Structure formats: C-alpha cells, structure tokens
C-alpha cells in the first residue's frame, strides 16, 4: 500500500474568459484497499467535500468547478484519477478576470516560514471586493469559517485518507525524488486581503504550481 506517498491534486474550473485550475498537494495517511484506485479515491473524495464546502463557497456563480484530477508523485506508478461534476460558485456577481484572484498561504512548521505554500484561487466574484481589496465581510464571513474545513483530512469515496500539505521545491532540488521528505503538513492557512494579480501569458497556463515552496 502507499501510506506516506505524496499526491498532486488539480481543481479544474471554468470562468467566462477561460479555464483555470487550483493546485494542492496531499499525503496518504490511510491506505486504499485497491492501490490502483488511489488517485481516483482522492479525486472523488475531494470533489464530494472540500470542493463543495470550501472552494465553491469562495467563487462566483458564473464560475464553476468542473472536475478534480490527481497524480501520485511518489511510490509505485498508478494511473491518474479523475472526478467530474459541475459545481457553480455560491457567490453572486461576475467573476474577476482569470489573472486576478485570492491568494491563500498554507502554513507549515518544517521549512522556514518564508516558504509557506502559495495557493492561487481564481473565479472570485467582483462583489467580494472593493477596488483591489477583498471586503471584510468576504474575508471574515465567507473565507475565514471555511479555512478550518480546508485543513481537514480528505476521505476517499470508499476508503483511504489524505492530509493537506506544502511541498518544498528546494528540498526536491537537493534531494531529487524525495517527495516524502519534501512534504510538510499544513498547520493552518492565511489569506491576503489584497486582490492578487498574475501576469497574462500568451499560452494558456492554468493556475499556479500549487502549494510549493
């Protein structure tokens, strides 16, 4: 089985102006009964709970989560896992352009604090901000209460469990392939109240690289 293995999880989204992704990393804590289904179990478990209870609550109803794709980064090779659905956001209003979004930092206690992982979340409603700042009501009443749920373990659709974390790119550079050593449990999260901005690219590069430090 694959307890301790590290997974890359990609939330797939549609916005009026383009497609986008949110990228996260998880480590397996309880094994699945069929190892070849590990990625699928995580994808199905994520779209059933955190996608609904956390990320859907943050985004515009004119944006939608359409699926989750999971890859296993360490251990025995298995096929990627997919889970599809259509979960429109819970917030009214037109979404910000895809290159503007909410910047979330996953906190960890293994690597230097300046290496806390950045998670980029597009699709937030224009009604959730004033100018280039998110409203206090949005941060306090919508995002804040769901951050604890984001940190909860994700249970597979039928079995298995995973915990959220941050991946140290520096550790991987120094220790190629040591994903377990590069993974640090998330011990909390913080949001930046200023609307984030990414430089537009000519290629359709989706999302940020995930909670990598």
Q: Which two tokens stand for residue 108?
A: 């960890």
pLDDT score for 138: 97
Residues 207, 112: Cα–Cα separation, whole Å: 24
Report the pLDDT value the prediction gives residue 201, as an integer from 0 to 100: 47
Three-class SS state of 164: strand
Tokens 């896992």 correspond to 81
Tens of pLDDT, residues 68-124 = 999 999 999 999 999 999 999 999 999 999 899 999 999 999 988 776 789 999 999
Cα–Cα distances in Å, from 135 out to 96, 140, 152, 161? 14, 8, 26, 35
Rg (CA), the chain: 16
Q: What is the pTM of this model?
A: 0.90
Question: What CA–CA distance (Å, rounded) separates 91 from 26?
Answer: 27
Residues of the chain with pLDDT under 50: 1, 201-206, 208
Q: Which residues contact 176 (CB under 8 A, 6 or more apart)?
A: none
How far, in Å, CA of 44 to CA of 67, rounded?
9
Cα(59)–Cα(93) distance, integer angstroms: 9
Strand 154-155 to strand 19-30: parallel, antiparallel, or no bridges (unpaired)? unpaired
Length of the chain: 213
Q: Are 89 and 125 in contact (CB under 8 A)?
A: yes
Structure tokens at 85: 């659905």
pLDDT at position 203, please?
A: 39
* Distance between CA atoms of residues 51 and 28, nearest Å: 18
Q: What is the pLDDT of residue 115?
A: 66
d(CA 130, CA 138): 11
- Written as one string, the DSSP assignment of 150-164 is HTSPEEPSSS-EEEE
User: Using CA atoms, how far apart are residues 87 and 59, in angstroms rounded to an integer?
Assistant: 10
Q: Find tokens 């790119």 and name the residue.
A: 169
């Amino acid at each position: 089985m694959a307890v301790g293995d590290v997974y890359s999880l990609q939330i797939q989204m549609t916005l009026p102006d383009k497609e986008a992704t949110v990228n996260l990393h998880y480590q397996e804590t309880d094994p699945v009964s069929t190892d070849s289904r590990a990625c699928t179990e995580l994808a199905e478990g994520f779209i059933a709970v955190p996608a609904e209870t956390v990320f859907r609550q943050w985004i515009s109803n004119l944006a939608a989560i359409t699926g989750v794709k999971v890859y296993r980064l360490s251990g025995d090779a298995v096929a990627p896992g997919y889970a599809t659905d259509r979960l429109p956001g819970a917030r009214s209003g037109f979404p910000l352009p895809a290159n503007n979004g909410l910047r979330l930092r996953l906190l960890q206690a293994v690597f230097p604090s300046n290496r806390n992982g950045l998670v980029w979340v597009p699709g937030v409603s224009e009604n959730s901000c004033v100018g280039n700042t998110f409203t206090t009501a949005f941060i306090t009443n919508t995002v804040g209460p769901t951050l604890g749920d984001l940190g909860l373990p994700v249970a597979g659709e039928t079995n298995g469990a995973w915990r959220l974390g941050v991946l140290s790119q520096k550790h991987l550079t120094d220790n190629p392939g040591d994903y377990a050593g590069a993974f640090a449990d998330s011990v909390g999260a913080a949001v930046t109240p200023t609307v984030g901005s990414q430089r537009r690219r000519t290629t359709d590069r989706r999302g940020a690289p995930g909670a990598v430090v």
